[in-house]
Amino acid sequence: MIKIAPSILSADFARLADALQQAEEGGADWIHVDCMDGHFVPNLTIGPPVVKALKKETNLPLDVHLMIERPENLIEAFIEAGADSLTVHVEASTHLHRTIQRIRDLGAKPGVSLNPSTALSSLDEILPYVDLVLVMSVNPGFGGQRYIPTITDKIAKLRRTLEERHLWPIELEVDGGITPKTLPDVAAAGTEVAQNLVYEDPEMYIQTQQRILKGRALALRVAKHLNLSQVPEFNGSAPQATAYWAMASAHTARATDDRFRAERIRPAAKPTATTAAAAGNTATGASAARGEAACPPSCAVPTPPRRRAWAP
């Protein structure tokens, strides 16, 4: 399920309690808290005292993003203040593994973030130790920036890496320039958590965003997993969104069956000429019976099962 995490940075700081209530009533999943130090990024925002005040006013998890130098010096203070997850930048921590382990030892979910120009290869050694990866889709430091279009491919590459390495428990979050216009593309690329600026537009209702986001993303994901030749374009209606959820749920239930999972993960035996021909005839006949074009060899390659069931 795609999660929505409104950024408190774009709220009215004189009415933070009201902003938290608005997010809860609108159906938000997390509250995203951007903490900047004026050194790692050219802006200064909030610290542990504000996080502590936020924790008293909401039951939603606080997703705290540290855009600061030497984050290891403030990990304990932020977790004691109420951070449920704590994300640090690969560019800011010299001993990243130690920092991540310290966050986990203190009881919070550790996350790692990287700037738009930082290569995904910087995550190779730390991925098995984190619960969250946050991809910056703008240069950090200020809210309200435009989404960098090339980040969509970066998200897709990271999603493939997580699945190829069987790191399904890791959640993939995108931060910066997320609007109703950009949400569908980042969701289709594999994002599971979208941080957005819902407070800048009072009419931007979170549940409507979720409906559009889920429907558009599922149109692509269901097509990929079920090898459908065509999935109707999402028209923004609640009934069609529900239909997409039903299709995805049915597929996930099948994929999470133990026997089915074992068949998908186990390396396939090398086909002989006879079995390959038989398989080709069977696939062609099944496609013809459904009125579809024959599936090319690439689309028949199984993908690893997702870690959680889809649910509306």
Q: Which of 111, 171, 178 is nearest to 138 (CA)?
A: 178
Give the active site residue among 34, 37, 63, 185. Answer: 34
**Domain coordinates of the chain in residue numbers?**
3-204
CATH assignment, 3-204: 3.20.20.70
Q: What is the pLDDT of residues 25-72, one digit of tens each?
A: 777 889 999 999 999 998 999 999 999 999 999 999 999 999 999 999
Tokens representing 7 are 């950024």
Q: Which of 29, 37, 63, 175 is catalytic?
A: 175
Catalytic residue status for 63:
no
In the predicted model, residues of the chain with pLDDT beneath 70 are: 1, 196-312
pLDDT at 193: 81
Q: pLDDT value at position 283?
A: 43
**pLDDT (tens digit per residue) in 203-247:** 554 554 555 555 555 555 555 555 555 555 555 555 555 565 555
Judge whether 37 counts as a catalytic residue: no
pLDDT at 211: 53
**pLDDT for residue 190:** 83
Task: Write down the pLDDT at residue 26.
Answer: 73
Adjacent-strand bridge partners of 177: none
